[in-house]
Structure 1
Amino acid sequence: MLTSTSFPTPSRRSLSMTSTASTYLDAVVHRSTRRMDPDGFRINWRDAPRKGKFFPGVEDLSLDRIVPPDDGDITAFGLGSLSQMLKDTYAEGNRRLAIHCNSDVDDLPRYGTSSHARGTASGGARYPVSIYLVAGPGSGLTPGVYYYNTYHHSLQRLLVGDQTGRVAAALGHDTVANQYLVLGIKYWQNSFKYHNFCFHAVSMDIGTVTHAWREWAAERGMRLVPHLWFDEADLAAMLSVEGDQEGIFAVVPLGAAISRPAPWSGDSQTFGREIERSRTTRTFPMVVDMQAATAEGGRARPTAGALQQAAAPTQPAGDFFPLEKAEAPACGFREALVRRRSSFGRFVSQPMRQASLAALLEAGLSGGSYPCDASQAMPMSVMQLYVFVNHVEGIPPGSYLYDSRRRGLIRVDGRAPGEFLQKHYALENYNVEQAGAVIVPAVRGHAVIDAVGDRGYRLTSAAVGAATQAVYLAAATLAGVGCGAALGFDNAAYIDRLGLASNGVVPLIMIMVGAERAARANFRSEIL
């Protein structure tokens, strides 16, 4: 069991509107009327970065060869369980070749623009999370720092020497694990496409990844706790990354702990240096500012009850519609990771089962609770789930708030939302009216930032990402139910429609769910 030493209490800001993170959140909310992209910005697909880092000359240590998939004790976090977890959640899997309505469908048959399934969702499918393994004595590897290569399901050793004590010190822990997963975000991997909006998208990816890991471990009786508060500058120095290029967002301790930190002597040998594919790279001012602002408070871990002031507001009065008992999953968790995908225009205007919606809402709210190193500061009611109902058995079309205590929906607006949803959707890959429902995780974002500082933006985004991943995986276990998440909607219009302006609640993502076509063109891509 890891224990921790308390960091200093974060300073409170008198007005959230003066903070970098709150200013950025406002920019995200109003980007439909005040564009976030720089003047003259164009996506240069020919010079796009890789979906992962490239370290030439660094040996690949194949995890399948080091640890056969069926070997090892899966109830303890050794190398075998680590290998299987990474493969199930973040390695590239089956080739994506199904016909759908997303803009990249014409490019999928070409090798250079191919797409592969992964168990974890990612904003814009760019997968910018850099996964580093810091291995110590007893981990089954030579102590050092390794990069996880998602293309080959392999580890690349970047640095030799036991760094686990250094990571424990950065976390403020008085015990040390024998290995850690450190999660960075390489901004250019996403910002080349999403410019200043990048930070909003990539910070949710931390939630999708860590939620998948947490659930994978829980199925085997193990507990993983992501840590979002630590000395970020020291870990960035350990990994030789520059702050404006890559932020260090999370640390996940693995394996057994010892009572005293292993000493870090400072002696190490560096092997790997990344080579970028893009000939021309650039930074974006809002992303640089957000990285600096959210990194600054890394050592100020929130104290107990610090987020109580950001709790969700009192539920509104309105007609109540109880939901049927949640539908039981039709497959296990690992199978759900294989099945997970985005629907991309495959919804049909048929009523979805009420029990299916109940299962998705339960999963989403559970994921959004996001157990982490700040859990002692978080009331369960920080996140709310709003639901736009188009086609659900026994529920009239309208806008609702999910009431988890009573297991039902509170109506907040009785107008059919289909036309509204399509009008305020910026992309062309979904007819939103055909979705059975649209689930909208919402948080009092400015209140969170007021309570714990700018780094609270990362916590909020991670929780929303976790809720999204939970809904995706729940949908994958239900027969005939599709799912697709998107950030391309008008947040301000949603605030007006749901009546949220007075209580500071901000809708942060839209998750479309509903019945899909029974017959879909596809390929047996697992044999390619």
Structure 2
Amino acid sequence: MQQEARDVVRDYTEAVFRRARVPMEPLNFEVDWVDQPSRHTAYPGAPRVPLPTDLPELPTLRDLFTGAGPPAVEDWSLARLAALLRLSYGVLDRRMTVNWNQDIAKRAHFDYAVWGRGTASGGGMYPVELYLVAGASAPLLPGVYHYDTGRHVLQRLLLGDVSDTVRSALAAPEDADSFLLASIKFWKNSFKYNSFCYHVVTQDLGALLGSWDLLASAYGVPLRRLLCFEPAPMDRLLGFDSDDQSVFAVVPMRWTADPPTAASDPPAASDPTAASDPTGAGGGGAAPVPAAGDVQVRYAAHERSRRVQRFPTVTAVHRAAAVPAVIAPETVPDAAPGELPGAPVELPAPLLDRLDRPLSTVLASRSSSFGRFRRPPELTAAELGTTLAFAAAGRHHPADVGLPGDAPALTRLWVFANHVDGLPAGGYAYCPRRHALRPAGPEPDGGMSAFLQQQYFLTNYTMGQVGAVLAISGRLDAVLDAYGPRGYRILNAEIGAVAQRAYCAAAAQRVGCGAVLGFDNVSMDTALGLDGTDERTVLFLLLGRHPDATADLAYRL
């Protein structure tokens, strides 16, 4: 079964990497924008538990990068959880800017408004749905809760301690009695990207986990991501059809003994418990424990779309990648990209003063640079190096992926230097240990801008205005050897986390950044000298300047 599932994953990723040359099915697919799903999932009738709305002033990116963050506090509180959820995935503002994107004329209308969030998402679809399974020690009644991103509240879907259901599905014992579950609802992305959906959403998950790693470090609270569990018991608990929605990551949560912080919002009238106790902690003794068996939440999510479509390719690769990981610890170190030959080109030291902005401010101001790059002035080698160094630091994180301590680094960062002051045009590999670049290829004939534009098959960026293109690569075959089919999800989770950190470093420096998947991977790999190896570029990030005088609107919520 492992080999069959691995073959499905390998065939899917090969189709993804070659889609610029051989389109993926279904061909001639047209997006039904009128019938698209809601960006904010809600459970009608479910009691609502308000969350604190204050956004704290957090340590700066400089503090997090240099290890000068706060002392460890060991446990979570309701206030810290509320900030984690809102700053990472909640709605922070309404944004509007004048640029050359095709849909800019519609963005002035409320129906097409862009609502800013701290974490990047492919196409702005935000397909991750968050659930809290609260146990006896939680500052809430034990039960199952959904985070409503549109209203910043928890919706109680089930009352009673069902944390054993989660623990029983994990690959190793956990002494926590509460868990934050990150699931993916495929239709929220596939309605637009069809079969390409699975590749995008697994990186979306990684971007969210990257935000959580930063926020947990800012609080000094442990946050360990679990990716190697059996999803079926949790999917049943949450009422999912696993082909449509499934749990992809689990984070154990341990709670502080301090009294929970009262929410500032009034409770929902439909929630009698919350009406008497805004924190949802209750005052009538222990919550009942559901009867044994396949317990399931009591409420169903509202689906805006009248027609929800499944894509066989997405279903097949999801079933294959959901096969529980069979970790081969001896091969895990070998899954990382190896050292490259070549004399290194030293980069200027990271601009620590440019990272001296609070994480909360950075997340609230992070945005994608659709249609906004302008030059001159040029991106500098120091700004590029600062972004690379901060992004690469996210490759190591606490996880359950086969080795004690932090997860191994499964990715490498590359640079297509286009217009960078202090760095000749060409291809480079980033070496974090030396904070240096190793030349990977000369500037293509005709110039780097022309090469990049030829390989980019979308129309929302002009490569002549971009300072540099970062590429995140991984060795998929080696990762599949180490983890089995689940390795595809593990690799993409790291790729998404690295991308999110690049976004944050760019935002702190006031440098433009935009993640894209629209390059011809085959040509990009050839330009970096990767032909004949198992290393492939997976995701790309554009870096450059924005004009100082722009017509922008950011209405903070």
TM-score of the two chains, using structure 2 as the length reference: 0.86
Structure 2 partner of 1:476: 507
Amino acid at match of 1:424: Q
Q: Does 1:358 align with 2:385?
A: yes
Provide the C-alpha distance between the structure 2 equivalents of 1:100 and 1:435, rounded to a whole number of angstroms: 15
Contact 2:401 2:407 in 1 (8 A): no
Amino acid at match of 2:106: D
What stretches of structure 1 of length at least 5 have no aligned partner? Answer: 1-10
1:19-30 to structure 2, matched below 5 A, reads: 19-30=7-18
**Counterpart selection for 1:345 from 371, 374, 384:** 371
Contact 2:414 2:429 in 1 (8 A): yes
Amino acid at match of 1:406: R
Shift of 1:432: 1.9
Contact 2:410 2:494 in 1 (8 A): no
Percent of pairs with identical residues: 34
Provide the C-alpha distance between the structure 2 equivalents of 1:462 and 1:103, rounded to a whole number of angstroms: 30
Provide the C-alpha distance between the structure 1 equivalents of 2:133 and 2:170, rounded to a whole number of angstroms: 14
Structure 1 partner of 2:173: 174
Q: Does 1:402 align with 2:430?
A: yes
1:140-161: CA deviations, max 9, x gaps?
1111111100000011111111
**Counterpart selection for 1:388 from 410, 416, 421:** 416
Q: Comparing 160-169 with 199-208, which one deviates more in the overlay?
A: 160-169
Contact 1:305 1:376 in 2 (8 A): no
1:220-369 to structure 2, matched below 5 A, reads: 220-256=219-255, 266=292, 270-298=297-325, 300=326, 302-317=327-342, 319-328=343-352, 329-349=355-375, 350-369=377-396
Q: Which runs of 4+ in 1 moved over 6 A?
A: none
Contact 2:134 2:140 in 1 (8 A): yes
Provide the C-alpha distance between the structure 2 equivalents of 1:273 and 1:420, rounded to a whole number of angstroms: 49
Shift of 1:24: 0.8
Shift of 1:137: 1.3
Provide the C-alpha distance between the structure 2 equivalents of 1:487 and 1:68, rounded to a whole number of angstroms: 35
Q: Secondary structure at the match of 1:356?
A: helix
Provide the C-alpha distance between the structure 2 equivalents of 1:172 and 1:384, rounded to a whole number of angstroms: 28
Contact 1:178 1:256 in 2 (8 A): no
Structure 1 partner of 2:151: 152
1:26-62: CA deviations, max 9, x gaps?
0011001111131341100000011132322223222
Amino acid at match of 1:57: G
1:320-358: CA deviations, max 9, x gaps?
321000011131211110110011122223321222111
Distance 1:69 1:331, change over 3 A: closer
Contact 2:351 2:382 in 1 (8 A): yes
Structure 1 partner of 2:265: none
Alignment size in residue pairs: 505
**Counterpart selection for 1:493 from 512, 518, 523:** 523
Contact 2:90 2:150 in 1 (8 A): yes
Shift of 1:502: 1.2
Contact 2:226 2:399 in 1 (8 A): yes
Amino acid at match of 1:483: C
Distance 1:472 1:68, change over 3 A: closer
Q: Does 1:63 align with 2:51?
A: yes
Structure 2 partner of 1:4: none
Amino acid at match of 2:505: A
Q: Secondary structure at the match of 1:84?
A: helix
Contact 2:475 2:535 in 1 (8 A): yes
Contact 1:389 1:399 in 2 (8 A): yes
Structure 1 partner of 2:450: 419
**Counterpart selection for 2:484 from 435, 453, 461:** 453
Distance 1:425 1:141, change over 3 A: same
Shift of 1:70: 6.7
Amino acid at match of 1:330: D
Q: Secondary structure at the match of 2:9?
A: helix
Provide the C-alpha distance between the structure 2 equivalents of 1:340 and 1:68, rounded to a whole number of angstroms: 19
Provide the C-alpha distance between the structure 1 equivalents of 2:472 and 2:122, rounded to a whole number of angstroms: 15
Contact 2:416 2:425 in 1 (8 A): yes
Provide the C-alpha distance between the structure 1 equivalents of 2:72 and 2:84, rounded to a whole number of angstroms: 10
Provide the C-alpha distance between the structure 2 equivalents of 1:21 and 1:238, rounded to a whole number of angstroms: 27
Distance 1:524 1:281, change over 3 A: closer
Amino acid at match of 1:201: V
Contact 2:332 2:482 in 1 (8 A): yes
Distance 1:68 1:335, change over 3 A: closer
1:138-149 to structure 2, matched below 5 A, reads: 138-149=137-148
Shift of 1:221: 1.2
Provide the C-alpha distance between the structure 1 equivalents of 2:351 and 2:20, rounded to a whole number of angstroms: 37
Contact 1:164 1:176 in 2 (8 A): no
Provide the C-alpha distance between the structure 2 equivalents of 1:133 and 1:103, rounded to a whole number of angstroms: 38
Structure 1 partner of 2:279: none
Provide the C-alpha distance between the structure 2 equivalents of 1:112 and 1:454, rounded to a whole number of angstroms: 40
Cα RMSD of the aligned pairs, angstroms, is: 2.5
1:243-285: CA deviations, max 9, x gaps?
1101211001111599xxx998537674311121111111111
Amino acid at match of 1:159: L
Q: Secondary structure at the match of 2:96?
A: coil
1:215-253: CA deviations, max 9, x gaps?
101112112011101121111111110111012110011
Provide the C-alpha distance between the structure 2 equivalents of 1:285 and 1:526, rounded to a whole number of angstroms: 41
**Counterpart selection for 1:53 from 28, 33, 41:** 41
Amino acid at match of 1:334: S
Q: Comparing 499-508 with 34-43, which one deviates more in the overlay?
A: 34-43
Distance 1:400 1:22, change over 3 A: same
Structure 1 partner of 2:68: none
Distance 1:123 1:69, change over 3 A: closer
Contact 2:195 2:313 in 1 (8 A): yes
Q: Does 1:513 align with 2:543?
A: yes
Provide the C-alpha distance between the structure 1 equivalents of 2:223 and 2:143, rounded to a whole number of angstroms: 21
Contact 1:164 1:178 in 2 (8 A): yes
Shift of 1:385: 0.8
Shift of 1:379: 7.3
Shift of 1:310: 1.8
Distance 1:129 1:517, change over 3 A: same
Q: Does 1:373 align with 2:400?
A: yes
Q: Comparing 372-381 with 277-286, which one deviates more in the overlay?
A: 372-381
Contact 2:171 2:228 in 1 (8 A): no
Shift of 1:522: 1.1
Q: Secondary structure at the match of 2:544?
A: strand
Contact 1:51 1:127 in 2 (8 A): yes
Amino acid at match of 1:461: N
Provide the C-alpha distance between the structure 2 equivalents of 1:365 and 1:433, rounded to a whole number of angstroms: 26
Shift of 1:393: 1.8
Shift of 1:384: 1.1
Provide the C-alpha distance between the structure 2 equivalents of 1:123 and 1:281, rounded to a whole number of angstroms: 20
Provide the C-alpha distance between the structure 2 equivalents of 1:336 and 1:501, rounded to a whole number of angstroms: 38
Provide the C-alpha distance between the structure 2 equivalents of 1:330 and 1:254, rounded to a whole number of angstroms: 29
Structure 2 partner of 1:7: none
Q: Secondary structure at the match of 1:364?
A: helix
